[in-house]
């Protein structure tokens, strides 16, 4: 009887899982012709309890589930995991504010299958990876039984955007915050998502005040509120008007990977290093374009980017010439170009339009930047 109840629980949890495919994955780690996928469900009651990553590797490498976890940890500073002494038992996973409790009061279950919806329990993280196969882990082994990971959201990298990508800062003060407005659409492979950097003297400011300061300084930027919720945002030719089926959603975080849903603008505050994100559509605020505002005013600070010009359609340069290598990756993690000759600029004319991740390496130091090819 217990086995029958357990079978039903697995069946119903699988049926309840929405459709999620490899096309929904945004963050890929590694290189190679083979691809596997990971879902981590923290089962902690939040609306972002479950995340998905992609992992690439070469055929014949005999990579295990556990090695995939380690590769993601190596690529994402906000991700870590802990295994048992034999390497086959998963003790804990931490991603931003999400984490298990190392067996107190429960453990992690591990899963694998042909699709995100049809995984079954496996023998642990020592299982070898198979091409195009899905692997999952869910917190809770005996509470009261293991549960199939629920439909994930695509994980983002915390390295995809940072303060160094902001060329223009509005306002004055030692405190800085970034506001990202994502209209939920794309133009020629680039998300219609825009970043605005603000500076302020106060220890904290409200999100509404931050939006007001941007609206006062940025031409063609307007917003409106209804009952402490965003009802509309307009920027240049982009416009999002909230409806019951598609409302504006507000998030707070410190990078693209750790957005937390905010239910009210009135209770949302910013402090130094904290970001606000606004999303119109299904995705959480995605990789933005810095909206450079050429204002001849004293309260706008212009910083010098490491990559210029950015965006570019022909060639870009790196400010620091004392580097050993420059590598360019697309957003799936595929290496598309690498060079050690940067003196005369780096041509992008062979690349498709879109957003790319550029890494520069000098000895053991690696720096990461975002490049837009138009």
- In whole angstroms, give the CA distance from residue 47 to residue 257: 14
Check residue 298 and give its pLDDT: 46
Angle at 54 between CA 48 and CA 60, to 5 degrees: 150
Q: What is the 3-state secondary structure (H, E, C) of the chain?
A: CHHHHHHHHHHHHHHHCCCCCHHHCCCEEECCCEEEEEEEECCCCCCCCEEEEEEEECCCCCCEHHHHHHHHHHHCCCEEEEECCCCCCEEEEEECCEECCCCCCCCEEEEEECCCCCCEECCCCCCECCCCCEEEEEECCCCCCCCCCCCCEECCCCCCCCHHHCCEEEECCCEEEEEEEEEEEEECCEEEEEEEEEEECCCEEEHHHHHHHHHHHCCCEEEEEECCEEEEEEECCEEEECCCCCCEEEEEECCCCCCEEECCCCCCEEECCCEEEEEECCCCCCCCEECCCCCCCCCEEECCCCEECCCECCEEEECCCCCCEEEEECCCCCEEEEECCCCCCEECCCCCCEEEEEEEEECCEEEEEEEEEC
- CB contact set of 185 (below 8 Å; sequence gap of 6+): 191, 192, 238, 281
How far are the Cα atoms of 121, 262, 351, 372, 374 from residue 189, in angstroms, in the given order? Answer: 37, 28, 12, 10, 9
User: Positive or negative, the Cα torsion across 9, 11, 16, 20?
Assistant: positive
DSSP assignment of 308-332, as one string? Answer: ESSSBSSEEEES----SEEEEE-TT
How remote is the C-alpha of 336 from its chain's centroid? 21
Q: Quote the pTM value.
A: 0.81
Quote the CA–CA distance of 281 and 185 in Å, as a whole number.
8
Residues of the chain with pLDDT under 50: 1-17, 293-298, 302, 304
28-30 and 34-41 as β-strands: parallel, antiparallel, unpaired?
A: unpaired
pLDDT for position 15? 39
In this predicted structure, what is the pLDDT of residue 87?
60
Question: 182, 280 in Cβ contact below 8 A?
Answer: yes
> Which pLDDT does position 133 carry in this prediction?
98
Q: From CA 198, how far away is CA 296, in angstroms rounded?
A: 16
> What's the confidence (pLDDT) of residue 131?
97
Q: Cα–Cα distance between 62 and 78 in angstroms, integer?
A: 26
| Nearest one of 78, 64, 90 to 146, comparing CA atoms | 90
Burial (CB count <10 Å: 0-12, 13-18, 19+), residue 332: middle
pLDDT of residue 8: 37
**Which pLDDT belongs to residue 10?**
41
* pLDDT, tens only, 171-216: 999 999 999 999 999 987 889 999 999 999 999 999 999 999 999 9
Neighbours of 73 (CB within 10 A): 17
Q: What pLDDT, on a 0 to 100 scale, did the predictor assign at position 306?
A: 76
107-155 per-position pLDDT tens digit: 889 999 999 999 999 989 999 999 999 999 999 877 678 899 999 999 9
Interacting residues of 74 by C-beta distance below 8 A, sequence separation 6+: 29
Cα dist from 159 to 105, 203, 323, 370, whole Å: 33, 26, 20, 9
Q: Which residue, among 305, 312, 247, has the nearest Cα to 281 in the 3D structure?
A: 247
């Amino acid at each position: 009887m217990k086995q029958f109840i357990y079978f039903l629980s697995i069946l119903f949890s699988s049926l309840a899982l929405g459709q999620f495919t490899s096309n929904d994955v945004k963050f890929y780690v590694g290189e190679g012709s083979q691809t596997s996928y990971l879902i981590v469900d923290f089962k902690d009651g939040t609306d972002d309890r479950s995340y998905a990553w992609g992992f690439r590797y070469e055929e014949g490498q005999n990579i295990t589930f556990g090695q995939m976890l380690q590769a993601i940890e190596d690529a994402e500073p906000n991700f870590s995991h802990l295994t048992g002494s034999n390497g086959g038992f998963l003790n804990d996973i931490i991603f931003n504010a999400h984490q298990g409790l190392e067996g107190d009061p429960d453990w992690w279950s591990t899963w694998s299958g042909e699709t995100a919806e049809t995984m079954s329990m496996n023998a642990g993280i020592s299982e070898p990876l198979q091409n195009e196969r899905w692997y999952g882990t869910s917190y809770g082994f005996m509470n009261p039984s293991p549960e199939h990971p629920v439909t994930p959201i695509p994980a983002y990298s915390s390295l995809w955007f940072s303060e160094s990508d902001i060329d223009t800062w509005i306002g004055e003060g030692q405190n800085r915050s970034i506001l990202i407005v994502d209209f939920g659409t794309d133009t020629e492979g680039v998300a219609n998502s825009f970043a605005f950097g603000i500076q302020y003297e106060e220890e904290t400011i409200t999100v509404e005040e931050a939006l007001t300061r941007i609206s006062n300084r940025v031409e063609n930027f307007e917003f409106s509120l209804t009952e402490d919720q965003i009802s509309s945002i307009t920027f240049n030719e982009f416009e999002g008007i909230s409806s019951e089926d598609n409302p504006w959603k507000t998030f707070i975080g410190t990078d693209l990977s750790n957005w937390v849903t905010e239910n009210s603008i009135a209770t949302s505050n910013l402090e130094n290093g904290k970001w606000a994100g606004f999303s119109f559509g299904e995705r959480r605020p995605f990789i933005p374009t810095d909206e450079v505002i050429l204002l001849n005013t004293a309260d706008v600070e212009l910083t010098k980017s490491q990559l210029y010009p950015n965006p570019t359609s022909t060639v870009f340069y790196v400010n620091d010439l004392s580097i050993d290598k420059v590598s360019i990756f697309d957003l799936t993690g595929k290496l598309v170009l690498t060079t050690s000759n940067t003196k005369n600029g780096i041509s992008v004319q062979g690349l498709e339009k879109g957003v790319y991740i550029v890494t520069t390496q000098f000895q053991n130091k690696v720096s990461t930047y975002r490049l837009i090819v138009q």
